[in-house]
Amino acid sequence: MIDNRTAPYAALVLRLVLGVAFVAHLALKLFVFTPAGTAGFFASLGLPPALAYLTMLGEAVAAVSLLLGIWTRIGALIGVPILLGAIVMVHGAAGFFFNNPNGGWEYPAFWAVALIVQALLGDGALALKPTPALRRA
């Protein structure tokens, strides 16, 4: 049974943690690897370098959406293909555990599932909404 008093706060905590994770991963690409370095890495995987910039844009949109609670469901779903791509292109071959060399797929898979859960839960407490909620007559 869902406790309707605390469920919005659970969704809030999940939303904020997911948003912060996207900020951290975007910052890594921007400030450590650099956008050009990230594009080079994508190219080394046989992917179009432009996909790196699209990925960084997706991470930024997901982060802002989740942190502010604006279009939370869409923001969460934007992040899912990014993480599935990370599993398929980078982490999948390294095995399950993320502490394996080259990182396994355990962490990105858990993160993707948490994003799906967030999309199912919705905004939660303290969310900014882009439009007023529709009222049933």
Q: What is the pLDDT of residue 66?
A: 97
Nearest by Cα to 53 from 33, 32, 65, 38: 38
Q: Do 15 and 64 contact (CB within 8 A), yes or no?
A: no
Residue 130: its pLDDT value, please?
A: 61
Buried b (16+ CB within 10 A) or exposed e, 44-69: eeeeeeebbbebbebbebbbebbbbb
pLDDT band at 133 (very low <50, low <70, confident <90, very high): low
pTM of the model: 0.92
- Residues 8, 121: contact at Cβ < 8 Å? no
- Mean pLDDT of all residues belonging to the chain: 93
